[in-house]
Structure 1
Amino acid sequence: MVVGTRKTTLKASSNTLTNSTRRTSLNTPTKAPDLDETMMDEIRKMLQETNMEIQKSKDELKAEFKKDLRIELGEVTTRLDKIDDDLKKVSGKVEKLEIDMKKMETKVDTLYKDQQEGQESILKLQLKQRENCLKLRGLPENVNENLYTLLSPILAKFIGESETLFPWEIDRIYRINSRIAKTRRLPRDIVIYFVRKQTKEIILRQSFNNKLLIEGKEITILRDIPGKILKRRKEYNFLIEQLKARKILYKWDDLDGVIVTWKQRRVRLNSVEQARSFLTELGKEPEKGNKKDKEKGGEEEAEEEEKEEESTEERVKK
């Protein structure tokens, strides 16, 4: 009985150990999920902290970038504002310059008008001074010549006046220097100022019908016209040629232009445009070129001479 009991006890003990071992073996794998979960929690925690650090870094970078961007934008804005201010200043200066330029143009126009008026006044004065004056062309020059003694009796005889009294009609007489005469090697023109305008007109009218001969040379008698007026008259050559061809009466205006007698009325042409329009009314366009038709005697001679005489003539008294 006792032995049987021990065996039973041993068997029971063995069974108990076996069951205990089995339990232990069965309970051991149940602890691994707890460890994995802890590790996962740790990993999740680390990832979360990492993400937070990354986000923090991003935020810091964004903040730094925005700060730098604001600084740069502020600098750019400041520069743009400065440029805008500079542009406004430049614009103001340009406007001021434009105003000054307009003022200057007005002053220039005023000065030009004043100058033109001054020139017109001078030309009128020159015409006034020469209204008793005639010009003789073609008389050969002699050394130590005395023009007063030479010409006084000749002119007196030409118009049928007393040779004794005629010298009192002459105010002064001299030759004038001219580039044309020097270039062409021609005798210089002689200018005669008479005491009375009437004497000049008598000699001029007499030259229409008779030739003045001195020492066997035919002398041309011309009106004495200022060079600037002669230069203006050259622009009307095309008109004068047609008027002569059509035998239309005309005369020069004092300073500029032509007065034409046409269809029993007087037409004043004081510009080249008016002259061309007048020729259109005549039915013929102006011809190109300057035809120099030299006729001898009186007013016709004067007109042709006005076309050829230089505009910068210097008068030098001998």
Structure 2
Amino acid sequence: MGSKTRAATATGKRQSLTGDNDPLGDVKELITEMNKTLIVEMNKTLSDKLDSVESKLENNSKVISELTGQIKELFGKNKEMEKAVKELNIKVNNQEDNISKLTSESRDLKRIQERNDKERRELLKTQEDLADQLALIEMRQKELILRLRGVPERQGERIEEKLFKELANWLGVKEEDLMMDVDKIYRIRGDRSKKFKGPGDCLIFLNSGLLKDKILQRKKQEPLVIEGKSIAIFKEVPKRFRVKRLKYKRLTDALSAKGIWYVWEFPEGLTFTFKERRKTIKSIEDAENFLERSGKELLGGGEEAEENETEIGH
């Protein structure tokens, strides 16, 4: 009996604790509701976060997809670039080969040009030497011809008789003897006489070199004067040699100003005596060097100029 009574008492207590009259029931319900609300909110927050993460993942996927496309595009362009670079390298190599060939051809052309220039210089020298030889032959042919410049000219004159008489008196010989050594005499009307409107030059063709030397020597002692005019007497010189001599005018003018007699050399150059020493000038370079060394003394003035040019041509 006692035990049954205690069991019943315990059961009743438990029922009172769990029944409607339980003082913690409302708290439990409140807690339960709060937990549900919290769980819902947490689930919503988690859901929102998941949605945000999914959105970001989706965006990242798009970005990754775009980057992947760009990378593929770049790889494609890189291949095109590699191809273009290879083609460019091939072109560069071809250009280098062409440049190498052109350089080689240029060297060959330069050697050919140098050889041609050398041959041209040799040919020009040969031509110059040949022209000098022809001029020397011409000069030998005219060796016995003297030119008189400034002889007064008269209408209807008989120039041979006039010059025979004047030359014979000047040389101190008989006219008959002079005629034996003279082939012919005549007057010419050259470009010079037309240009300066003066009398034409007279040419004397000699038979003897002795008479030629005698006339030139006499000229040094005393000029030939006809009708009050001093007559210039020249040997005939081919134009080629006269042109060459123009280069030496500065030197010959200086020598003439000092009264220094000079003799022309052939095909060019001249010989004279300076400070008791015989000097031969063979080229214009020699002439310039001489004037540079002795120019002050030579160009400083001196005796009155003496006519010492004995050679001329047409």
- What is the TM-score normalised by the length of structure 2? 0.68
The corresponding residue for 1:25 is: 33
Q: How far 1:136 sits from its partner (Å)?
A: 0.5
Cα pair distance change 1:48/1:216, threshold 3 Å: closer
1:176/1:294 Cα in 2 relative to 1: closer, same or farther (>3 Å)? farther
Matched, 1:228 2:240: no
Please give the residue correspondences for 1:169-180 in structure 2 after superposition, counting only pairs within 5 Å. Answer: 169-170=182-183, 173-179=186-192
Query: For residue 207 of structure 1, what is the aligned residue in structure 2?
Result: 219
Change over 3 Å in CA distance of 1:109–1:238 after alignment to 2? same
Which residue identity is paired with 2:64?
A: Q
Matches within 5 A, 1:77-96: 78=87, 82=91, 89=98, 92=103
Amino acid at match of 1:132: L
Cα distance in 1 for partners of 2:293, 2:20 equals 158
Q: Secondary structure at the match of 1:64?
A: helix
CA, structure 1 residues 81+235, in 2 after alignment: closer, same or farther (shift >3 Å)? farther
Report how far residue 200 of structure 1 moved. 1.6
When residues 110 and 64 of structure 1 are mapped into structure 2, their CA distance, relative to the original with a 3 A threshold, is farther
Long gaps (5+) in structure 1: none
Alignment match, 2:74: 65
- For 1:80-106, what per-residue CA distance to the aligned partner results, in whole angstroms no more than 9, with x for missing partners? 864775587466376566556545543
How many residues matched?
Answer: 291
- Contact 1:176/1:191 (8 A) holds in 2: no
Distance 2:168 2:258 in 1: 35
Task: Kindly name which structure, 1 or 2, has the bigger radius of gyration based on alpha carbons.
Answer: 2
Paired residues of 1:238 and 1:288 also in contact (CA < 8 A): no
Contact 1:138 1:219 (8 Å CA) reproduced: yes
Q: Quick check: 1:171–1:195 contact (8 Å CA) kept in 2?
A: no
Q: Which amino acid aligns with 1:31?
A: I
Q: Secondary structure at the match of 1:131?
A: coil
In the TM superposition, what is the alpha-carbon distance from 1:135 to its structure 2 partner?
1.0
Find out whether 1:54 has 2:63 as its counterpart.
yes
**Using the alignment, how far apart are the partners of 2:164 and 2:208 within structure 1?**
15
Distance in 2 (alpha carbons) for counterparts of 1:82 and 1:52: 44
Is 2:255 aligned against 1:240?
yes
Evaluate the alpha carbon distance shift between residue 121 and residue 172 of structure 1 in structure 2; reply closer, same or farther with a 3 A threshold. farther
SS at 1:65 equivalent: helix
Partner of 1:198, secondary structure, is helix
Contact 1:232/1:256 (<8 A) preserved? no
* Aligned match for 2:286, one of 270, 274, 277: 274
Could you tell me how far 1:54 is from its partner in structure 2? 0.8
Q: Does 1:163 align with 2:176?
A: yes
Instruction: Please say if 1:110 is aligned against 2:119.
Output: no
Alpha carbons 2:146, 2:234 under 8 Å: kept: yes
- From 194, 219, 234, the counterpart of 2:231: 219
Judged with a 3 Å threshold, the aligned counterparts in structure 2 of structure 1 residues 118 and 67 are, in CA distance, closer, same or farther, namely: farther
8 A contact 1:178–1:188 mirrored in 2:
no
Corresponding residue of 1:302: 309
Question: How far 1:56 sits from its partner (Å)?
Answer: 2.7
Counterpart residue identity of residue 29, structure 1: T
Please give the per-residue CA displacement for 1:148-188, whole angstroms capped at 9, x wherever unaligned: 45435654565425627826632564425133x33432212
Distance 1:74 1:199, change over 3 A: farther
Q: Cα gap change, 1:171/1:70 in structure 2, threshold over 3 Å: closer, same or farther?
A: farther
Q: Give distance in 1, aligned partners of 2:184 and 2:246.
A: 28
Stretches of 4+ moved more than 6 A in 1?
none
| Partner-residue secondary structure (3-state), 1:192 | strand
Q: Is contact 1:157–1:163 with CA below 8 Å preserved after alignment?
A: no
How far apart in 2 are the matches of 1:164 and 1:286? 44
The 5-angstrom pairing of residues 9-48 of structure 1 reads 12-13=19-20, 21-22=29-30, 24-29=32-37, 31-32=39-40, 33-48=42-57
Query: Relative contact order (alpha carbons < 8 A, sep ≥ 6): 1 or 2 greater?
Result: 1
Q: Deviations over 1:39-81 (max 9, x none)?
A: 4344334423422321231232233235335535754775686
Q: Structure 2 vs 1, CA of residues 189 and 87 (structure 1 numbering), >3 Å: closer, same or farther?
A: farther
